[in-house]
Amino acid sequence: MHTIPTLANTSPKVAIIGAGMVGSAVAFACLNRSVVSDLLVNDISKIGLGQVLDLEDAAFFSSAKVRHASLQDCGQADIIVMTAGYNNGPGESRDTLIHRNELVLKDVLGKMQPIKSSAIFIMVANPVNILTFMAQKLTGLPPSQVFGSGTYLDTIRLRNTIRKTLDVSDASIQAYVVGDHGDQQVALWSSATVGGQPLLTFPEFEHMNTSKIAHQCSRKVYSIIEYKGGSSFGIGAIIAEVIECINLNKKSVIPLTVYSDRYDVCLSLPAVLGVNGIDRIIYPQMNATEDAALQAYIKSNQAFCINYRQENITQGPTLIDKSPSLQLIGSPVDNIPDLQPSPSLSLKKVGSFSLLGPSAEASSEMTKKVSALKKPSSFRVFKSPVFSFIRRSSNKKTPSTVVESDMISSSTERKSYSTLESSNSLVLLSPSSSGQC
């Protein structure tokens, strides 16, 4: 006798953090798929209010209620989708967003506490693997309840290419992209099948340059960014599908960002998804080339995760950057160490860190790139600047500042920074507000 499956949670309360291109696409897809009963939207700007008003019209054709909510309210949702963060620009790798989006993540999670103990937290902001790892440490939820969108979108792009080449349905294709949702992603051609037959035995693929195809799939996002500023519809549809898998306890196998005990990192692997989140990870078969590519990514990912753990348990001041004439020391103001006076050095306390620099004018070369510091309750070393230095122009005819950091290279981004501290030749900048994706 056929048994009708019981719906695990047909009407969850879903919170979407960030109402930019991605967040609004996720919200719209969820309404269209009728996978939510209450849809909470949070955004730091008035855009969020506008999106809610617009989504209310779309919700007329579903049974869902839409409202703008505080972060604390969002923390009590059944499913929390994190889309807030900075986007990568044309030609910019997702990895360059790590430290800017960490600022956003820590700010959001700090204001969201306490988070509902049974909530499932889905990371969408990039770089998704690293931010998922951070979120697992910061939310207080079990790793099975905190995962990211991973390489689900990349896998769909690969399967679309296979579908078009062989003219078969999507359901007939089993092929995965794993590892990194970015430039180091690995397409698993060796284990790909169509209708149970190995993909590479099909005549259409016997002489095809699969490396080139995989590269084109991984670079598709850059074309989207160039043409329209960012991708949104694809990821919106994917997250709606993920939420439905949770609601209906479908136990679908989806390539998501999960924590792997085997590799001790968060990366994208096929995982069984149900009402409680990640049930288990399935480690796919790989040939030697694919395994080597994945191991190379894992190695770089492990290095970051080890550093992140160490930096977040460090006690005392941390040396961030040094040169023969400049040092940046990160520390809570009260814990700045006593320094021996020196006629060639001066100390400035700025917020939660200090600048130890020469009393004489700094050279322009010195100011080109300085690491940045972010402090919640511990010390963080940023390898690419968020807090940045600029050098004042000494030319009286052109008093405008000369930007020395590529992190604030555009005029629009420069306007969002505010001066915290200045000296004769250096100005320390800090973001005045967090952007949304």
- Which positions are annotated as active-site residues? 181
Cα distance between residue 345 and residue 164, in whole Å: 65
Cα distance between residue 387 and residue 430, in whole Å: 5
Structure-token pair, residue 362: 């700094």
Cα distance between residue 78 and residue 67, in whole Å: 15
Cα distance between residue 165 and residue 168, in whole Å: 8
Query: SS3 of 357, please?
Result: strand
Cα distance between residue 66 and residue 70, in whole Å: 13
Cβ neighbours of residue 385 under 8 Å, at least 6 residues apart? 369, 370, 371, 372, 405, 407
Place of tokens 């590529």: 406
Cα distance between residue 121 and residue 137, in whole Å: 12
Cα distance between residue 292 and residue 322, in whole Å: 35
DSSP type of residue 359: S
DSSP type of residue 312: T
CB atoms within 10 A of CB 259: 21
Structure-token pair, residue 38: 């209450």
Q: Which residues pair with 259 in a beta bridge?
A: 266
106 neighbors 221 (Cβ within 8 angstroms) = no
Query: Torsion over CA of 5, 6, 11 and 13, rounded to 10 degrees?
Result: -100
Query: SS3 of 25, please?
Result: helix
Q: What order of strands is seen across the sheet that includes strand 318-322?
A: 318-322, 327-330, 353-358, 345-350
- CA nearest 102: which of 77, 122, 141, 132? 132
**Distance, first Cα to last Cα, the chain:** 49
Cα distance between residue 177 and residue 313, in whole Å: 34
Structure-token pair, residue 71: 């972060």
